[in-house]
Structure 1
Amino acid sequence: MDHLDKFDHRLLSLLRSDSRRTGKQLSEKVGLSQAACLRRVQHLRDIGAIEKEVAIISPEVAGASVTLLVMLVLTRGQPEKAAQLRRDLLKLPQVQKIYHVTGNADLVLTLQCASMEAYSNFTEAHFYSDEIKGFDTIVVLRSYDPEPD
């Protein structure tokens, strides 16, 4: 990865909280010209410092008002089945992200469901399989994002 200077890091910080900032807005915060900011942002995309830009859809609009973090413990010794399980789970609309983690769990999933009943149905349909040894769930009560600068 190319060397990133303080301006690049500042741009990344600003874009992390709002990737729709204009060149003018970035310029005012960073202290470079609009053109320089936009060139740097394009360079950050080109070198992979910015992997992707996404729209975060309101859970209420998406019909999924309950956010859950689910820690899955997988059955050992089945790497090909675990890989297929990850691929299958990522196809489900409720699954927002999967993390392969260390610790007591093997995977942590971020899910969005319409209700706790919908989540209960989801668990019955997808978590009671030979590949999954067990799971624990954390229900998100409230989330906080970094304040935009």
Structure 2
Amino acid sequence: MDAVDRSILAVLEQDGRISNADLAARVGLSPSPCLRRVRRLEETGVIRGYRALVDPAAVGRGLRVFAGVRLLRHTRDVVTAFEQAVTALPEVTHTHHITGNFDYLLQVEVADLTAYEDFHAHRLADLPGVAAVTSYVTMKTLPAQSL
């Protein structure tokens, strides 16, 4: 991967719907070599896909909470049961198995604090193997930097 590939990735991260002609102009290539590079980046798995960024508040998910989950035990059956159950919850948008004070860090998106309280009490705390949940309510999200 060279500087041109990194430039292509930076532009695509900002605008995944940019036309190949505009992308080529932005990175200083003609359209054909640019398209070949993009296809190579896709085929090698560097570019894993394209998606729409949806405004969470517009679809009733205006509150983002990060939940640190500790499991009672770390046996294969407990871990498998927890992972299957948590990935089935539509409110959980990302699940990370981590090291440190928690076993999992979940990103949860719900309408508001009342909805999170209900989700926490009736769904999250009842998942298989959960010993404790620590919640962190997001006040603001800053934009990510490109490559």
**TM tier, shorter chain?**
0.7 to 0.9
Q: 1:138 — aligned with what?
A: 136
Distance 2:6 2:49 in 1: 16
Structure 2, gaps ≥5 residues long: none
Q: 2:46 — aligned with what?
A: 49
Q: 2:33 — aligned with what?
A: 36
Label 1:127 to 1:78 Cα distance change in 2 as closer, same or farther (>3 A): farther
Flag as ranges the 4+ runs of structure 1 deviating above 6 A: none
Q: SS of 1:68's equivalent?
A: strand
Displacement of 1:121 in angstroms is 0.8
TM-score (norm 2): 0.88
Distance 2:78 2:18 in 1: 42
Distance 1:87 1:51 in 2: 23
Percent identity over paired residues: 26
1:100-115 aligned at under 5 Å gives the runs 100-115=97-112
Task: Indicate if the aligned counterparts of 2:125 and 2:133 stay in contact, CA closer than 8 A.
Answer: no
Q: 1:8 — aligned with what?
A: 5
Distance 2:62 2:134 in 1: 20
Q: SS of 1:81's equivalent?
A: helix
Task: Indicate if the aligned counterparts of 1:78 and 1:131 stay in contact, CA closer than 8 A.
Answer: no
- Counterpart amino acid of residue 118 in structure 1: A
Displacement of 1:84 in angstroms is 2.4
Aligned residues between the structures: 145
Distance 1:19 1:94 in 2: 26
Distance 2:70 2:76 in 1: 13
- Counterpart amino acid of residue 27 in structure 2: V
Label 1:145 to 1:25 Cα distance change in 2 as closer, same or farther (>3 A): farther
